[in-house]
Structure 1
Amino acid sequence: MLDTSNPNNYSYITKHLETHVLGGIKLNKLESLRITLSIQKPKQHNILRHSIDLYNDNQVEKFTRKVAERLEIGTSVARRTLQELTHELENYRFLLLEKEAELHKPYFKELSASEEKEAIKLAKRKDLLKKTNELIGKSGVIGEAYNRQTMYLIFTSRKTNNPLHCISLGSSGTGKTHLQSKVSELIPQEDKVEMTVLSANAFYYFNRTELQHKLILIEDLDGAESVLYPLRELQTKKRITKTVVHKDTKGTTRTIHLTVEGPVSVAGCTTQESIYEDNSNRSFLLYIDESQEQDKRIMDYQRKLSAGKIDLEAEQKARETLKNLQRILKPIKVINPFAEYLELPQSVFKPRRTNSHYLQFIEVITFYKQFQREKKYDEQTGEEYIETTIEDIEEANELIIETLLHKSDLLSGACRSFFEFLKLILVQENQTTFTNAEVRRWIRLPKSTVRRRFLELLDTENIVRVKDKNKKTYRYELADKEEYSNLKATIQKALQDCIDKINRANGSD
């Protein structure tokens, strides 16, 4: 029998010949069986080494005569030995291919009866979104109550026909990648693809359906610049195709099409909001909490973790609970009977795409609560579906208000954080005017950064220059310190008006 205990030196020993296959066998070319042989008589030192394709009859016949001549043995013995060796190697190669296919087979966890029962029990809770946010916190995601729940629901949308996407934005070192990584741990491994750096054509060489309904996680968009265009097409058109020239085994050149099917949900992180504007328009923008309170929460957690006072088993249990909940969610159509009553505030930029995101986000919440919804059937097609409730819309409005604020804001996310922090400091310092130098001292930012923020605030007329009465210099003051809270109130009122319209329409029915 063929001895494969040494992967680099198979041995096949018979009564008449001792044969070794040096370097093992290749698995990529099934049309040939090219190996390097060392063959000798047992307990003799006259060794014949030769590279040969055992599927090439001419080579095998010549080698048979050479073995018979060099080792002084009959050609029939040499031929039979080579034929038997070929058969053994062939069978072993098929075995290796089966093992390799099994190794690369996508992992799908089968839930036990108790796990499924527990997941369904959680899915039927009336306070499902609140309980989900609690479990996300227990899994080790510190703070970021709005961002973490919104991101989790966006990741859940991968199972729908119109997935949502998100980009995490914030300064370097504020935890963008950490938040994305921790929330993605709540998604089953078989449903996500994590990437760090991508080559220009990387997406085109996935299998046709390999990415369908997957969550694509990009650690840093700066490392994926070369694939941003196909990524956008995959987000929008749910399919990408590349035409390439290919030469077949006969040397004939022909054109082939490489197609990868979606839909997919895409998440990425960056510090540079303006550079990725085209991608940002297709995504929810999640601005990382850079407040001092969040700094304190994170550092307290780090200290407790170092002191061994964090229950890591409880964190793991929370992660598994949410992953199992994800596994029981099944694709189902969602119909929103109240969609016609939902209007976005006039202040929102690019309302067409934002309106689509708003409606899809409501559908995701309904989809997530599918175990609480009665299944209905289309009378004409027989298609199964569930319907959105007013409660779903109210919960979506609570979560999406931050996104609509950012979509309505003239300032970039980094500048808005700077400006809101500046307002707080002015109240603490009991001042209405300020200088560039004072702000640098209060906020401790580089001179160039403060200058950029001031230019953006002046350009959007959020601050104005005023002449210092005592000196021949200029100071700055706020144009309207209530502008952001007024904008938020306007958006809240617009969303509440939609709910009121729905309630009046239902009452009249």
Structure 2
Amino acid sequence: MTISEIKENLNLSAVLAHYNLTPNKNNMLLCPFHEDNTASLQVNPTQNKYKCHACDKKGDVIQFVQDYEKLTKREAILKCVTMIGQVITNVPSVVKVETVTITEDKSIFLEKMFQSFRKGIFNSPPAKEYCKGRNLDLEKLSIGFNGGQFHHGTRRDETLINNCLAVGLLLDRNIISKTGEKAFNVFGNKSIVFPLKNKENQIVSFYFRSTINNENSKHFYLKNRSGLYPNYPNPATKKLILTESIIDAGSLLQIDEITKNHSVLACYGTNGLNEEIQNAIKELQQLEEIIFCFDNDDAGKEAVTKYGAMFLNEYPNLKLTTLELPNKDINETLQLHESEIVTELLEKRKSFLSSNEPFSIEEKTTKTTTKKPTEDPSDSEQAKQKAVKPNFGTAIEFLKAKDLLKRLNAEIGKSGIVGEENSRLLLFLIIISYMNKSPIHGIVQGSSGSGKTHIIGSIADLMPGEDVLRFTRITESSLYNWGEFDLFRKIIIIEDLDGLKEEALYALRELISNQFLSSSVSMKDKKGNNKSTRKEVKGQFSSLSATTKGETYEDNMSRSFLIAVDESKEQTQRIITHQNKRNAGEIDPKEKQIVVAFIQQIVRSLKYYEVVNPYATKLQLPDKVHKIRRLNEMYQAVIKQVTFLNQYQREQTADGKLITKIEDIEQATEILFESIVLKVDELDGSLRQFFERLKKYTKAKDTEFTQREIRQEMNISKTQLQRFINSLLELEYIKYKGGFSNKGLKYVVDYWDNHQKLRAEIKDFLMLQIEELKKIR
């Protein structure tokens, strides 16, 4: 079998499944080649290739096996062939590796191995010294040590070796030792060992922590990891402490006060609160409180926010608290302090919902004695949770409930976007289009300081972080230098579109219009000679950009919506009121974190679907709309996005496409109305808002005004006002009336259009069309 035949017959997806690695819906997964907190490894199933954006590991299916198991190229080829189930016939000196099965009960075998490791730790001074340095008591904790010698010398036994190969404690690299015997690599060599247990309290896997100072080889789990540490919690558990790591959990298990009143359960890192742990928690019928004891760093705090929101959604009456550690983690804290500090930290633990209020056991006891006899002591805490917690259940339940868009819009408002109800919902529909084959784009236009960057940044915060790319600037050729699939199913946020040079704008336009960039580049071959080659970048992404001059870009970017920031006095007052409440402590920042985490869960719960709109041929736009062909396509795209968001409530065609309902058209029309009006209007959003305020100030046609009067009345800068005046003069909406440049030029409104009437006409046209559709339904 040739290498090309191996690649043809072995799919990367099958290899990932073999190693129990599951990409998310965007074909991203946590990189197994470095400690990864966010999914940074991109998989391309169609081309059988992978690339990590963090550690730059990349290659084909053979390279993945080589990297994952740290093999030579020849060993990787051999491994791939065994996965296919065939024998290499044209690679010399290669031995076929047969599948090894365990010859006894796995849990019994692992128990025997752990007893061997347990003896090994007492016979290893370096291992004992390591545990002493980590403040781990070998007498109180079940810890072993893998010295890598359990299959050597008199202990060498074929049954033992086969069983170790089957469970993953030994790795067959097809190496022959100097004595002529087959040699094996030891998994988790020179590591302390912790047992992971199943529901029956049997050992089903191991966790290894290297005692050698090797930054790339700290943590190891046996293949097909399962089980919990230290074990499944007692069914009568009322208070459960979750730690970020196994060593942190072990550190707490040494304290009698903890084990007497609490159960302890270890997560496998900040992304390691897995399904087995969640299911174990679900079975705790008497559980009253979960106490997070994660690391005192950004990753740990973000994990607490994420998992706290998840538990709060699923168990609204559950008490959630956090320990605020004085050091990096609980293990380091106990290295530097006496064990009594844990009792002190527990007494001062913070409520997850209000980080400013300590949850003191003594205070709670005192308060309960002063309550009215008919009042439940837990009522106030539950009432506080219900007051802060948004009115939703799980993400799926939320997506299945009525009035989805209305309720979603309310939650977006709680995430910190004040006002802008239709705009923020339209931006949300635009940004989630990155999941579909034909994503759409938004350009938010507003004056300097109007909040346009804030709104696109806040909308981006509602998306899964691993899918968002934020740029303050893009250099001329940078978009050409991304990997082929680096921009595939991504979200791009550009804070200042005005700062992009023409070459960068051209590349961005091409990606938006064609989802593709192709360039001819020079590179050196293996002999050092320059060679021309073709480089391609595929760009299936949605984008949000901020600009002060939206029309300039919107005209040149197909599938881009122009959305104007609300710069009215009323919106300004809403924002100021919100800011003042926040600074006065009347707005709990935890509520925002909970809502943001929940909306991210909603987005992650959406699945890719194509949409068919059976009413598409019956929809028309007003004749007054300019660039009607482009707007019609965008109108249909937003309707599809509404259907896509309602996917848990929509029927499907025989081939699995979502079917648009008239309600989707009605909602899309309402959301898109302002953008349709902008397409009719020859004034851009900011200019229209200024002109309407100008008409309101002058009150009648031919009323004279100066720039100074308008600056003072509207509180806008000289530069900004000059831009508005020049634009209105050019479009002949105003004209010079007289005056002198040194004393102030005078202007009058020359074209007094009836914008409100036009808006009403467009609204009536669209709504009447929808009513007609309802009649023929």
TM-score by length of 2: 0.48
Moved more, 411-420 or 313-322: 411-420
Aligned to 1:390: 662
The amino acid of 2:759's aligned partner reads: K
Q: Amino acid of the residue matched to residue 683 of structure 2?
A: L
Quote how far apart the aligned CAs of 1:27 are. 10
The equivalent residue for 1:266 is: 543
Change (3 A) 1:255 1:137: same
Contact residue 550 and residue 562 of structure 2 kept, 8 A: no
| Change in CA separation of 1:99 and 1:335 when aligned onto 2, cut-off 3 Å | farther
Q: How many matched pairs?
A: 405
Q: Which residue number corresponds to residue 457 of structure 1?
A: 728
Alpha-carbon shift at residue 467 of structure 1 (Å): 9.5
Deviation larger for 216-225 or 154-163? 216-225
Equivalent in 588, 592, 596 of residue 311 of structure 1: 588
Partner of 2:542, secondary structure, is strand
Is 1:183 the counterpart of 2:459 in the alignment?
yes
Equivalent in 461, 476, 479 of residue 200 of structure 1: 476
Q: Residue 404 of structure 2 corresponds to which residue in structure 1?
A: 128
Are 1:436 and 1:450, in contact at CA under 8 Å, matched by a contact in 2? no
* Maintained 8 Å contact 2:695/2:749: no
Counterpart residue number, 1:34 = none
Deviations 1:352-388 (A, max 9, x none): 11111110000000000000012221xxxxx311111
Does the alignment pair 1:140 with 2:416?
A: yes
Tell me whether 1:241 sits opposite 2:513 in the alignment: no
Q: Distance in 2 between matches of 1:109 and 1:405?
A: 48
- Do 1:143 and 1:294's aligned partners in 2 also have CA atoms closer than 8 Å? yes
Change (3 A) 1:390 1:227: same
Paired residues for 1:404-483 under 5 Å: 404-427=676-699, 433-437=703-707, 438-445=709-716, 449-463=720-734, 476-477=748-749, 479-481=751-753, 483=754
The amino acid that maps onto 1:157 is S
CA offsets, 1:185-237, max 9 Å, x none? 10011221111222222222322222211111111113433421111111111
5 Å-filtered alignment, 1:29-44, equals: none
Q: 1:357-372 alignment to 2 at 5 Å?
A: 357-372=634-649
Q: Do the aligned partners of residues 398 and 194 (structure 1) sit closer, same or farther apart at CA in structure 2, a change above 3 Å counting?
A: same
Matches within 5 A, 1:221-240: 221-225=497-501, 226-240=503-517
Report the counterpart of residue 349 of structure 1 in structure 2.
Answer: 626
2:770 is the counterpart of 1:499: yes
Q: Does 1:339 align with 2:611?
A: no
Bigger Cα displacement from structure 2, 268-277 vs 358-367? 268-277
* C-alpha contact (below 8 Å) 2:512/2:558 kept by paired residues: no
After superposition, the C-alpha distances for 1:76-102 in whole angstroms (9 at most, x for unaligned) are xxxx9xxxxxx9xxx99xx877899xx
- Tell me the CA shift for residue 503 of structure 1: 2.7
Contact 2:480 2:537 in 1 (8 A): yes
Q: Note the alpha carbon deviations across 1:15-37, whole angstroms, 9 max, x for none.
A: xxxxxxxxxxx999x9xxxxxxx
CA contact (8 A) 2:498 2:548 kept: no
Q: Which residue of 2 aligns with 1:490?
A: 761
Q: 1:275 & 1:97 partners in 2: Cα distance?
A: 50
Distance between the aligned counterparts of 1:450 and 1:211, measured in 2?
A: 39
Give the structure, 1 or 2, with the largest relative contact order (CA under 8 Å, sep 6 or more). Answer: 1
**Preserved CA contact (<8 Å) 1:343 1:494:** no
Hey, what's the Cα distance between the residues in 2 that align with 1:365 and 1:418?
32
Alpha-carbon spacing, 1:436–1:238, altered in 2? closer, same or farther (3 Å): same
Q: Which residue of 2 aligns with 1:63?
A: none
Give the whole-Å Cα distance in 2 for the aligned partners of 1:194 and 1:324. Answer: 20
User: Structure 1 residues 300, 479: CA separation in 2 closer, same or farther (over 3 Å shift)?
Assistant: same
Pair 1:165-2:441 in alignment: yes
How many Å separate the matches in 1 of 2:459 and 2:557?
20
User: How many angstroms apart in 2 are the aligned matches of 1:329 and 1:398?
Assistant: 23
* Structure-2 separation of matches of 1:327 and 1:277: 30
Q: Provide the secondary structure at the position in 2 that maps to 1:433.
A: coil
- Cα distance, 1:136 vs structure 2: 0.6
Amino acid at match of 1:343: Q
Q: CA deviation at 1:265?
A: 0.5
* TM-score, structure 1 as length reference: 0.72
Q: CA deviation at 1:403?
A: 0.2
**TM-aligned CA distance change 1:266 to 1:463, over 3 Å:** same
Q: CA deviation at 1:247?
A: 0.7
Structure 1 residue 272: Cα displacement: 2.5
1: CA distance, partners of 2:697 / 2:732: 20
The match for 1:47 is none
Report if aligned partners of 2:396, 2:605 keep a CA contact under 8 Å in 1. yes
- State the one-letter code of the partner of 1:338: Y
* Displacement after TM superposition at 1:154 (Å): 0.6
Q: What is the deviation of 1:493?
A: 2.3
Corresponding letter in the other structure for 1:391: E
Counterpart secondary structure, 1:384: coil
Contact 2:554 2:562 in 1 (8 A): no
Residue 563 of structure 2 corresponds to: 286
Partner of 1:295: 572
2:330 aligns with none
Q: CA deviation at 1:447?
A: 5.4
Q: How far did residue 393 of structure 1 move?
A: 0.3
CA distance in 1, matches of 2:514, 2:674: 27
- Do the aligned residues in 2 keep the contact of 1:170 with 1:414 (CA within 8 Å)? yes
Over the residues paired in the alignment, what is the CA RMSD in angstroms?
3.4
Which structure features the higher share of helix residues? 1
1:220 aligns with 2:496: yes
Residues 467, 475 of structure 1: 8 Å contact kept: yes
Aligned counterpart, 2:11: none
Unpaired runs of at least 5, structure 2 = 1-54, 58-62, 64-177, 179-184, 190-209, 220-270, 283-309, 315-392, 740-744
Q: Partners in 2 of 1:98 and 1:279 — Cα distance?
A: 51
Residues 306-357 of structure 1: CA distance to partner in whole angstroms, max 9, x if unpaired? Answer: 2222111111111111100000101111000000011111121211111111
In 1, Cα distance between equivalents of 2:542 and 2:702: 46
SS in 2 for 1:140: coil
Assess if the C-alpha contact under 8 Å between 1:247 and 1:254 holds in 2.
yes
Alpha-carbon distance, 1:275 to partner: 4.0
Quick one: distance in 2 between partners of 1:268 and 1:27? 28
Q: State the 1:166 CA deviation.
A: 0.5
Residues 1:448 and 1:239: Cα distance change in structure 2 (over 3 Å): closer
* Worse-matched range after superposition: 121-130 or 276-285: 276-285
Report the CA distance between 1:148 and its aligned residue.
Answer: 1.1
Relative to 1, partners in 2 of residues 1:108 and 1:264: Cα closer, same or farther, differing over 3 Å? farther
1:174 and 2:450 matched: yes
Higher alpha-carbon deviation: 391-400 or 166-175: 166-175
Cα deviation for residue 251 of structure 1 reads 1.8
Aligned to 1:276: 553
